[in-house]
Amino acid sequence: MTESLDQNVDMLRSVAPLLITESVDEFASLRKGLKSEIKPEGVIEQMYVDDFATLIWDILRLRRYKTVIINSSRRAALQGILEQLLCDRDYEKGHRSGSLPAMLRGRGAPGPDGDGVRVSP
C-alpha cells in the first residue's frame, strides 16, 4: 500500500521550491524526517507533509535572508545614527581624525565597557 501511495503522491507533488543556491538533499532530508515523524496514511496526509516541509523551508529561508539583510545594512544604519547624533562638522572631524568613539562618549553614547549611557555636562 505504501508504494502505491507514494506513486499517487508523486503525481500530485510539485517540484521542490528551491532556489539555485539551496540544497536539494537538505530539503529531501527535511521532507523525509517529517514523513517518518508524522507517518501519513493517505494521499491527503502526504500532501500535508509536503506542505509542512515547504512551509518550514520557507521559514528557514526567510530567517537566513533576514540575517543577511540586517548584516548588510548595519554599516549604513550606524552611519545614519552617527549623522543624527553629530553635526556634520563634528562627524567629518571625528571621521578623519579617528576620534569618533571618544566624541560619541562625550555625547551620551555607551562607554567602551558597555556600562550604560554617559551624558556630557
* Structural domain boundaries in the chain: 2-79
Number of C-beta neighbours around residue 40 at 10 A = 17
- 37-42 average pLDDT score: 95
Strand partners, 117: 110
pLDDT for 121: 40
- Render pLDDT for 49-72 as a digit per residue (tens, 0 to 9): 999 999 999 999 999 999 999 999
Split at pLDDT 50, 70, 90, the class of 4 is: low
**Considering the chain, what percentage of its residues have pLDDT values greater than 70?**
60
Position 98 scores a pLDDT of 65
Q: Give every CB contact of residue 48 below 8 A, 6+ residues apart in sequence.
A: 38, 40
Contact 105, 118 (CB under 8 A): yes
Res 37 pLDDT > 90: yes
Q: What's the chain's average pLDDT?
A: 78
What residue type is 80 in one-letter code? Answer: G
**36 close to 53: Cβ distance less than 8 angstroms:** no
pLDDT of 119 > 60? The answer is no
What's the confidence (pLDDT) of residue 86?
76
State the pLDDT at residue 33: 97
- Rounded alpha-carbon distances, angstroms, from residue 82 to 5, 31, 107, 109: 61, 47, 11, 10
Question: Does residue 16 contact residue 24 with C-beta atoms inside 8 Å?
Answer: yes
